[in-house]
């Protein structure tokens, strides 16, 4: 298999002091300095230093390496992901590969026609209509006019904005705008495609459509270089990956392995300044209507120190304390909404129908036991609510973000690890039943 992209000892340095000076540098300062340096050279021959005003004299140029001696190869037809935290040098690498800026050292060889998409809709003009922007954007991305004309109908169909083709794009919704912009890009015909996180646009359905388009694209034997800090996107889409850290390659190899290492690093980083854990939530003002009010939500984990920390291999109870104000025929159903710290729903849990009934006025508690080894290690939030469904659906009380707790795996129980001691991805980590035996 031939090599599509060959990067040898690539470095890119910015001189920080210089850069900062440039931004604010006025012409006067620049002229003054150059006159002074000419003067210094004429007067202070033989290396004698001329005193410069303080501040300027010690304005040393500190070189900052955005990329430091990077080498890698991409075979043609490969889908390679580049992953790394902010400031790792991903964007710089992309900019160099797409010829927007020059490398400081090193050399890159790219075989084949290159298209790079650092942004969706580069050069879109808000005053122009959708039709006009397709042509303009196509030209900016390097498509000949004849080719745009040939693919025009296809582009329009893909974007799903047929009806608004002759409306200026400034009147488009942001979704329409992005769809149209992506559609033009998706109909490029390069041999090497360089992509920034442009896939992270549009609604979920359109994103899937784009992903599929890109996958087909590489199945046609074209090379894709995809930069993202989204680990799932890289592990789904790419065959191999490169993990950049502080301008250097930390690891390269099969996408799954590289992404795992990246995840491990990024989660260890979070621990230092993680979210505040809340193991007990006593409401000063009870939340609820004139039927029922929530008074407190708390985590019952007696054997474990640290508020809001739960060992993965211990069951944990969540207690909801509430007060019924008057007897009615509403059947109060306490419910807990468990989410990951990123806001993704894990589940909503309620008691069984046989456990709920109309209650007399008074104070009550509802305990919910989350079994051991259900949630994976990570941080979760709990929203508590009381709802009744027998007179239409009524939410009587609701406490969002009542608890924040962390499930930790201290590796004291390694029965299901088989010697693998690193992070295990996922939201849940149940211990499922397995049957292993010789096949008949």
Give the interface size with other proteins as a residue count (CB under 8 A).
Answer: 47
- Of residues 107-126, those binding other proteins (CB under 8 A): 107-114, 116, 118-119, 122-123, 125
Distance CA 423, CA 54 (A): 53
Asked if 110 contacts 222 with a C-beta cutoff of 8 angstroms, the reply is no
DSSP 142: T
Distance CA 45, CA 37 (A): 12
Q: Which is nearer to other proteins, 66 or 156 (CB)?
A: 66
Residue located via tokens 């007990």: 280
- Of residues 191-250, those binding other proteins (CB under 8 A): 191
Q: Which is nearer to other proteins, 131 or 319 (CB)?
A: 131
Between the two ends of the chain, the Cα-to-Cα distance in Å is 41
State the nearest-atom distance from the C-beta of 7 to other proteins, in Å.
9
Q: Which is nearer to other proteins, 25 or 271 (CB)?
A: 25
- Of residues 269-288, those binding other proteins (CB under 8 A): none
Which one of residues 100, 270, 348, 369 is an interface residue with other proteins (CB under 8 A)?
100
Which one of residues 68, 69, 104, 267 is an interface residue with other proteins (CB under 8 A)?
104
Any contact of residue 27 with other proteins (CB under 8 A)? yes
Q: For the stretch 301-310, what's the b/e string if a residue is b when 16 or more beta carbons lie within 10 angstroms of its beta carbon?
A: beeeeeebbb
- Of residues 361-400, those binding other proteins (CB under 8 A): none
Classify 194 as helix, strand or coil. Answer: strand
Asked if 249 contacts 243 with a C-beta cutoff of 8 angstroms, the reply is yes
Q: Which stretch binds other proteins (CB under 8 A): 73-81, 105-113, 223-231, 250-258?
A: 105-113
HSE, side-chain direction, 13 A CA sphere, residue 149: 3
Any contact of residue 101 with other proteins (CB under 8 A)? yes
Distance CA 429, CA 317 (A): 18
CA dihedral of 225, 230, 235, 237, whole degrees rounded to 10: -50
Which one of residues 83, 97, 338, 346 is an interface residue with other proteins (CB under 8 A)?
97
Tokens representing 231? 């680990």
State the nearest-atom distance from the C-beta of 385 to other proteins, in Å.
46
Any contact of residue 103 with other proteins (CB under 8 A)? yes
Burial class (CB in 10 A: 0-12, 13-18, 19+), 213: middle
State the nearest-atom distance from the C-beta of 65 to other proteins, in Å.
14
* Bridge partners, residue 79, by sequence: 224
Which one of residues 105, 229, 246, 319 is an interface residue with other proteins (CB under 8 A)?
105
- Of residues 118-177, those binding other proteins (CB under 8 A): 118-119, 122-123, 125, 127-128, 132, 135-136, 139-142, 144-145, 168
Give me the sign of the Cα torsion angle 204, 205, 210, 215: positive
Q: Which is nearer to other proteins, 24 or 342 (CB)?
A: 24
Tokens representing 171? 């009147």
Q: Which stretch binds other proteins (CB under 8 A): 44-52, 89-97, 249-257, 403-411?
A: 89-97
Any contact of residue 77 with other proteins (CB under 8 A)? no
Q: Which is nearer to other proteins, 101 or 268 (CB)?
A: 101
Any contact of residue 349 with other proteins (CB under 8 A)? no
Which one of residues 102, 290, 342, 433 is an interface residue with other proteins (CB under 8 A)?
102
Q: Which is nearer to other proteins, 108 or 372 (CB)?
A: 108
Closest to 37 (Cα-Cα) out of 24, 49, 22: 49
State the nearest-atom distance from the C-beta of 221 to other proteins, in Å.
15
Distance CA 14, CA 9 (A): 17
State the nearest-atom distance from the C-beta of 168 to other proteins, in Å.
8
Closest to 230 (Cα-Cα) out of 262, 253, 205: 262
Please give the C-alpha separations between residue 159 and each of 31, 188, 207, in angstroms, as whole numbers.
52, 14, 12
State the nearest-atom distance from the C-beta of 117 to other proteins, in Å.
9
Closest to 3 (Cα-Cα) out of 77, 69, 58: 77
Interacting residue ranges for other proteins, rule: CB under 8 A: 14, 19, 22, 25-28, 30, 95-114, 116, 118-119, 122-123, 125, 127-128, 132, 135-136, 139-142, 144-145, 168, 191
């Amino acid at each position: 298999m031939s090599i599509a992209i060959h990067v040898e000892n690539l470095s890119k340095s910015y001189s920080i002091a210089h850069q900062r000076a440039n931004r604010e540098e006025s012409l006067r300062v620049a002229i003054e300095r150059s006159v002074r340096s000419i003067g210094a050279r004429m007067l202070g021959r033989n290396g004698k230093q001329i005193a410069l005003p303080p501040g300027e004299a010690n304005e040393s140029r500190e070189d900052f390496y955005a990329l430091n001696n990077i080498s890698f190869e991409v075979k043609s037809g490969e889908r390679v992901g580049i992953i790394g935290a902010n400031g790792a040098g991903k964007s710089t690498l992309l900019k160099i590969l797409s010829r927007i800026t020059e490398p400081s050292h090193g050399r890159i060889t790219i075989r084949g026609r290159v298209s790079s998409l650092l942004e969706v809709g580069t050069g879109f003009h808000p005053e122009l209509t959708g039709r006009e922007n397709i042509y303009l954007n196509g030209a900016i991305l390097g498509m000949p006019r004849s080719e745009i004309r040939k693919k025009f109908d296809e582009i329009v169909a893909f974007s799903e904005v047929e009806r608004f083709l002759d409306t200026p794009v400034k009147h488009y919704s942001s979704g329409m705008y992005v769809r149209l912009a992506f559609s033009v890009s998706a109909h490029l015909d390069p041999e090497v495609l360089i992509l920034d996180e442009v896939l992270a646009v549009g609604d979920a359905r359109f994103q899937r459509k784009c992903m599929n388009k890109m996958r087909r694209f590489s199945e046609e034997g074209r090379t894709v270089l995809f930069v993202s800090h989204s680990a799932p996107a890289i592990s789904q889409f790419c065959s191999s990956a490169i993990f950049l850290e502080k301008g250097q390659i930390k690891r390269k190899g099969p996408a799954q392995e590289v992404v795992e290492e990246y995840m491990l690093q990024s989660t260890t980083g979070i621990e230092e300044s993680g979210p505040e854990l809340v193991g007990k939530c006593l409401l000063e003002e009870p939340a609820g209507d004139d039927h029922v009010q929530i008074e407190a939500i708390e985590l019952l984990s007696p054997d474990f120190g640290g508020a809001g920390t739960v060992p993965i291999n211990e069951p944990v109870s969540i207690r909801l304390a509430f007060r019924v104000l008057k007897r009615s025929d509403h059947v109060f159903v306490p419910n807990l909404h468990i989410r990951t710290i990123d806001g993704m729903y894990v589940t909503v849990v309620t008691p069984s129908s046989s456990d709920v009934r109309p209650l007399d006025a008074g104070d009550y508690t509802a305990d919910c036991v989350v079994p051991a080894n259900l949630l994976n290690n990570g941080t979760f939030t709990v929203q508590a609510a009381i709802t009744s469904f027998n007179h239409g659906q009524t939410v009587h009380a609701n406490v969002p973000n009542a608890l924040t707790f962390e499930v930790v795996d201290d590796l004291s129980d390694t029965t299901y690890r088989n010697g693998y001691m690193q992070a295990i991805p996922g939201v849940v980590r149940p211990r499922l039943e397995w049957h292993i035996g010789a096949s008949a």
